[in-house]
Amino acid sequence: MKSTREAAMKAILEMAEQDSRIVVVSPDSMLAARAVPFKERFPERFVEVGIAEQDAVDIAAGLAATGMVPIVITYAGFLTMRACEMIRTFIAYPGLNVKLIGLNAGMLGGEREGVTHQFYEDVGILRSIAGVKILAPADGAQVYHAAKEMIKQEGPVYLRLASGREPVVYEEEEPFTYGRLRELKRYGTDAVIFASGYIMDRALEAAGQLHKEGIETILADVSTIKPIDREGVVRLLQETGGRAVTVEDHNIYGGLGSTVCEVACEESPAKVIRLGLKDQYARSGAAKELLDAYGLSVEDIVNAVKRVRES
Amino acid sequence: MTDKELMRMANRLRLDVVETVHTAGDGHPGPCMSVADLIAVLYFDEMKIDPANPGWQERDRFILSKGHACPILYAALARRGYFEPEELKKLRSLEGMLQGHPDMQKTPGIDSVSGSLGNGVAIGLGMALGLRMQKVESYVYVAVGDGEMDEGVVWEAAMAAPQQKAGNLIVFGDCNNEQSGGRCTELTSLYPVADKWESFHWHVQTIDGHDIGQIKEAIRRAKGVKDCPSFIEMKTIKGKNIPYMEDNNAWHKKTPTAEEVEIARRALEGRI
């Protein structure tokens, strides 16, 4: 299953067959969300509101207040920034059972569209809102399982998707481990790489390359960013002598890097190098070239591990 | 209840507000008075509700989108039996459950969080759709302030509701032509209001929001329209029936003194 967007919709469709409470709310995102099959199968449970994200989130709050399980799907930034207050005050504060799916998250999501359609702030924004769980799976197969987990979890959950053209790293049947990080590779304990999202293939390649050079790392997929697996993070920091690199397609402020640093500071002080967008805006470009140009190349990860190891 | 009894109840709730805000030392009394008659009609006559079972799925819903007017809603809930009237004395305090703005989790009888302005129509639309999906034949009522209609999300919802044929959604515009900073018509005016809603294809009526009979009749007509949401423009007066508050925007947010509570009590004497 290659496309994260199709994977999410496949999971939603399957869950909706069993659960008549599931509703899809679309602020003109039906095509982007690959939701045409949902609309055709469940026309009475598909709510199109037009290009109006704030309205979509408020409507979802109302639907949830009557017992439905609405899923709002649209571009990550329009959802988490334009409708941020609606998420916070009308969904998270009363703890309503609304699911949020953000498309085009990261540079990988927006790529050629440019900065207006690339969103590297969504995790940071939502992480500061009490009561919102944040899932950032690594590929289409994981998204499929994560979307089902999202619906099973009670209360507000955000699922981070990108363009739909993300590299495959997992076997299809590999389950999504909610609330626990997963060791994707364990070459040794020279350093730990905490990675999240659709740059996992790069982190994997970097870990493999380092291994060939005799530098043995643990690669951990942190697919649940909130609540963070504190115990898992601390364990890996301690095993590796407190040498860590974080990798994410997000601003280095607010996302996985910040989360790991917070845990490290409080529980197991460590040297952490954060890779991600360094508090700047990217630009239009092909996905792979963009990641290379903005500090997320395999070489960047390799070099960061070498630097942290020397510290 | 008869119209006269409802009129008296509205005044009873108004006096409750003056006393409650006085005791709390904080709150928005003026904006309560313009919706008092509507709240009395809804909670003591019109709405299908059961105070013993606030979460009853078949109930009608109400959203006070202009959430800062919640003391009047709290007074109605207390007198309707959702909680003890004593609770009103703990408004806005750590010991109480009555928040500065409505909280659906802390207060029985509150159907939605509100207070961040402009969101009630959209949330109400979501409820209306959710009830329809579950084949629950109940109504969703929303009270929105005229000042609040400055917010864009009001019009996003105004656009979406007729498209969804949300005939079970009835929105009241509390049009007192005042908002925090002054007269709506002098800030960024949406007046005339009714024609805006008409142009968004709502079923629109304009009434005197202090006339119990007109409120009842407007609701009856709105319910007769099955495939279209209704907007009822209520022409109202901020601070209505409290002499020193009437059309005096200084009372948007202000605490009445003990003497002012007494003046209000005397003014309403014989009308409660």
Of all residues in chain A, the one with the smallest CA distance to B129 is A63
Of all residues in chain A, the one with the smallest CA distance to B55 is A66
A280 Cα distance to chain centroid: 19
- With 0-12 CB in 10 A as exposed, 13-18 as middle and 19+ as buried, what is B4? exposed
Residues A267 and A137 both lie in one domain = no
In a domain, A64, yes or no: yes
Of all residues in chain B, the one with the smallest CA distance to A85 is B116
How far apart (Å, rounded) are the C-alpha atoms in residues A207 and A201?
Answer: 10
Q: Which of B105, B128, B134 sits opposite A95 (nearest CB)?
A: B105
In a domain, A170, yes or no: no
Q: Which of B111, B116, B133 sits opposite A65 (nearest CB)?
A: B111
Give the list of residues 6+ apart from residue B38 with CB closer than 8 angstroms, or none.
B143, B172, B174, B209, B215, B234
In a domain, A256, yes or no: yes
Q: Which residues are bridge partners to A247 per DSSP? A: A195, A275
Distance from CA of A54 to the nearest CA of B (A): 6
Three-state DSSP class for residue B256: coil
Residues A11 and A150 both lie in one domain = yes
Give the list of residues 6+ apart from residue A216 with CB closer than 8 angstroms, or none.
A187, A188, A189, A190, A210
Q: What is the CATH number of the domain that holds A293?
A: 3.40.50.920
The residue length of chain B stands at 272
Residues A21 and A152 both lie in one domain = yes
Which of A90, A97, A129 is the best substitution to test chain B (most B C-beta atoms within 10 A)?
A90
User: Cβ contact (<8 Å) for B116 and A65?
Assistant: no
Give the tokens for residue B216.
């009842």
Whether A137 and A162 have beta carbons less than 8 Å apart is answered as no
Of all residues in chain B, the one with the smallest CA distance to A49 is B160
Of all residues in chain A, the one with the smallest CA distance to B132 is A44
Identity (one letter) of the amino acid at A233?
V
Residues A150 and A43 both lie in one domain = yes
Distance from CA of B265 to the nearest CA of A (A): 37
In a domain, A173, yes or no: no
Helices (H) and strands (E) in chain A, counts: 13, 12
Of all residues in chain A, the one with the smallest CA distance to B169 is A62
User: Cβ contact (<8 Å) for A90 and B131?
Assistant: no
Residues A103 and A220 both lie in one domain = no
Per DSSP, helices labelled H in chain B are 3-24, 30-41, 70-80, 120-133, 152-163, 184-187, 194-199, 212-224, 258-268
Residues A34 and A84 both lie in one domain = yes
Digits of tens for pLDDT over chain B (272 positions)?
999 999 999 999 999 999 999 999 999 999 999 999 999 999 999 999 999 999 999 999 999 999 999 999 999 999 999 999 999 999 999 999 999 999 999 999 999 999 999 999 999 999 999 999 999 999 999 999 999 999 999 999 999 999 999 999 999 999 999 999 999 999 998 999 999 999 999 999 999 999 999 999 999 999 999 999 999 999 999 999 999 999 999 999 999 999 999 999 999 999 99
Residues A33 and A145 both lie in one domain = yes
pLDDT value for A108: 86
A182 Cα distance to chain centroid: 15
Whether B193 and B175 have beta carbons less than 8 Å apart is answered as yes
Residues A74 and A208 both lie in one domain = no
How far apart (Å, rounded) are the C-alpha atoms in residues B173 and B209?
Answer: 9
Q: Using a CB-CB distance cutoff of 8 angstroms, which residues of chain B are in contact with residue A60? A: 126
- Using alpha carbons, select from A247, A270, A261, A260 the residue that is nearest to residue A189: A270
Q: Which residues of A131-165 are buried (b: 16+ CB within 10 A; e: fewer)?
A: ebbbbbbbbbbbbbbbbbbbbeeebbbbbbbbbbe
Give the list of residues 6+ apart from residue B185 with CB closer than 8 angstroms, or none.
B177, B191
In a domain, A168, yes or no: no
- Using alpha carbons, select from B32, B1, B5, B35 the residue that is nearest to residue B18: B32
pLDDT value for A1: 61
Identity (one letter) of the amino acid at A97?
N
In a domain, A171, yes or no: no
* Residues A100, A102, A103: CA angle, nearest 5 degrees: 145
Of all residues in chain B, the one with the smallest CA distance to A28 is B160
The residue length of chain A stands at 311
State the DSSP H helix or E strand holding residue B208, giving kind and residue range, or none if neither: strand B203-208
Last residue of a domain, one of A109, A130, A160: A160
How far apart (Å, rounded) are the C-alpha atoms in residues A188 and A183?
Answer: 11
pLDDT value for A2: 64
User: Cβ contact (<8 Å) for A62 and B119?
Assistant: no
Considering the segment(s) B3-268 as one domain, its CATH architecture is 3-Layer(aba) Sandwich (3.40)
Distance from CA of B77 to the nearest CA of A (A): 19
The angle that helices A200-212 and A298-310 make with each other, rounded to 10 degrees, is: 60
Residues A197 and A134 both lie in one domain = no
Q: What are phi and psi of B175, to 5 degrees?
A: -95, 85
* Residues B98, B99, B101: CA angle, nearest 5 degrees: 125
Residues A136 and A205 both lie in one domain = no
Residues A115 and A11 both lie in one domain = yes
Whether A162 and A249 have beta carbons less than 8 Å apart is answered as yes
Residue ranges making up the domain that contains A70: 4-160
Which of A20, A53, A57, A59 is the best substitution to test chain B (most B C-beta atoms within 10 A)?
A59
In a domain, A53, yes or no: yes
Whether B45 and B6 have beta carbons less than 8 Å apart is answered as yes
- Using alpha carbons, select from A218, A221, A202 the residue that is nearest to residue A299: A202
Residues A75 and A199 both lie in one domain = no
Q: Which of B103, B124, B134 sits opposite A67 (nearest CB)?
A: B134
Digits of tens for pLDDT over chain A (311 positions)?
668 999 999 999 999 999 999 999 999 999 999 999 999 999 999 999 999 999 999 999 999 999 999 999 999 999 999 999 999 999 999 999 999 999 999 998 778 899 999 999 999 999 999 999 999 999 999 999 999 999 999 999 999 998 877 889 999 999 999 999 999 999 999 999 999 999 999 999 999 999 999 999 999 999 999 999 999 999 999 999 999 999 999 999 999 999 999 999 999 999 999 999 999 999 999 999 999 999 999 999 999 999 999 98
- Cα A174 to Cα A61, A141, A196, A218, B82: the distances in Å are 33, 8, 16, 19, 50
Q: Using a CB-CB distance cutoff of 8 angstroms, which residues of chain A are in contact with residue B139? A: none
Total number of domains in chain A: 2
Distance from CA of A101 to the nearest CA of B (A): 18
B260 Cα distance to chain centroid: 24
* Spans of all domains in chain B: 3-268
Distance from CA of B55 to the nearest CA of A (A): 9
- Using alpha carbons, select from A98, A109, A49 the residue that is nearest to residue A76: A109
In a domain, A174, yes or no: no
Q: Residues of B near A (CB-CB distance < 8 A)?
A: 57, 61, 103-105, 111-113, 116, 119, 122-131, 133-134, 136, 140, 152-153, 156-157, 159-160, 163-164
End-to-end Cα, chain A, rounded Å: 40
Q: Using a CB-CB distance cutoff of 8 angstroms, which residues of chain B are in contact with residue A95? A: 105
